[in-house]
Structure 1
Amino acid sequence: MNIQPNSVVALTYDLYTKENGEEVFVEKADEQNPLVFLYAVGMMLPKFEENLQGLAAGDSYDFHLVAEDAYGVKDENAVAELPIDMFGEMEKPEIGSVLPLQDNEGNQFRAKVTALSDAAVTVDLNHPMAGQDLHFIGKIISVREATAEELDHGHAHGADGHAGH
């Protein structure tokens, strides 16, 4: 079966970005812990999925995504100062740490601490990979039709369709 909308894909990947013109390894998913997802339901980067469309189990892939097609360009205005008293009795976060935050609508996101003062914690709200071109190299492990339950839930239930939530 070839990758098409509403199929469940299991794949391996090695992800690279560039630092100072050199390709740098970021992360991987291997055959023991593959990336498993429901294709074409908005869970993955659209251009990532576009590069996989039509592939089948056993196929290898190697493609690049420019920042605009990945997590977007870095928005220098996506910075916020959070009042230090927001952290209450908690230990003050460290520069470089990533904080789990939630907006007024309940949307969860992460922000990287970029500065600290006695009054505020300054955070960068950009995605950690914003502004970075991505290079994916991997292999398709399996492709199958999604179950009715997976389609109803909007996500894959594992490579074999039986993993719990």
Structure 2
Amino acid sequence: MATAKQGDTISIHYTGKIEDGTVFDSSEGGKPLEFTIGEGELIQGLEQGVIGMAAGESRIIAIPAELAYGPREEERVFEFPKDKIGENINLEIGQQVQMFRADGMPVMATIIGKSETSYTMDCNHPLAGKTLIFETRLLQIL
């Protein structure tokens, strides 16, 4: 029986969880995820984890932060003055906003705190620093 290898296009169903069991994404009940192994379309650990699977096979893949969204970096958390945002804009904790780096590239930031004069912004990916658990089922090698 053929197994998935580098360069193959495959379709899978998956459920992604963090270590405490909280689900952050799933294709179950929806359209399967289709991708080519090794093209860099997904996090590295998931692409590596499906290699060797056969159609119909299920596998649980534990992916360390280094092969997912990287480590959490404290230098990506900073204070942003409220007066640079605008008078009539009130951001709430947990809200995501698009900001721009010095080079003009967009970056998403999550509001994690606020005071009278500033917001605390976190530009880390929400899953940075976390081990991810993917329950996968290979549907087919295309």
TM above 0.5, one fold?
A: yes
Match for residue 34 of structure 1 among 32, 38, 53:
32
Counterpart of 1:48 in 2: which secondary structure? Answer: helix
Per-residue deviation, 1:95:
0.9
The residue number in structure 1 matching 2:109 is 111
The residue number in structure 2 matching 1:159 is none
How many angstroms apart in 1 are the aligned matches of 2:51 and 2:16?
19
The residue number in structure 2 matching 1:59 is 57
Q: How many percent identity over aligned positions?
A: 27
What amino acid is the match of 1:136? F
For structure 2, which runs of at least 5 residues remain unmatched after alignment?
none
For structure 1, which runs of at least 5 residues remain unmatched after alignment?
145-165
How many angstroms apart in 1 are the aligned matches of 2:5 and 2:103?
33
Counterpart of 1:41 in 2: which secondary structure? Answer: coil
The residue number in structure 2 matching 1:150 is none
Q: How far does the alpha carbon of each residue in 1:31-82 deviate from its partner, in whole angstroms, 9 at most, with x for none?
A: 5322222321222111211111132332211111122322222222221222
**8 Å contact 1:93–1:113 — kept in the other structure?**
yes
Counterpart of 1:77 in 2: which secondary structure? Answer: helix
Q: Could you state the TM-score of these two structures normalised by the residue count of structure 1?
A: 0.72
Counterpart of 2:75 in 1: which secondary structure? Answer: coil
The residue number in structure 2 matching 1:46 is 44
Per-residue deviation, 1:106:
4.2
Q: Could you state the TM-score of these two structures normalised by the residue count of structure 2?
A: 0.82
Q: CA distance change for structure 1 residues 44 and 111 in 2, over 3 Å: closer, same or farther?
A: same
The residue number in structure 1 matching 2:99 is 101
How many angstroms apart in 2 are the aligned matches of 1:68 and 1:90?
40
- With 120-129 and 101-110 compared, the bigger mean Cα shift is at 101-110
How many angstroms apart in 1 are the aligned matches of 2:90 and 2:19?
32
Q: CA distance change for structure 1 residues 32 and 25 in 2, over 3 Å: closer, same or farther?
A: closer
- With 29-38 and 7-16 compared, the bigger mean Cα shift is at 29-38
Counterparts of 1:66-145 in structure 2, within 5 Å, are 66-88=64-86, 91-144=89-142
How many angstroms apart in 2 are the aligned matches of 1:17 and 1:58?
24
**8 Å contact 1:31–1:141 — kept in the other structure?**
no
How many angstroms apart in 2 are the aligned matches of 1:5 and 1:105?
35
The residue number in structure 1 matching 2:18 is 17
Counterpart of 2:19 in 1: which secondary structure? Answer: strand
How many angstroms apart in 1 are the aligned matches of 2:88 and 2:55?
48
Q: CA RMSD in A?
A: 2.2
Q: CA distance change for structure 1 residues 32 and 121 in 2, over 3 Å: closer, same or farther?
A: same
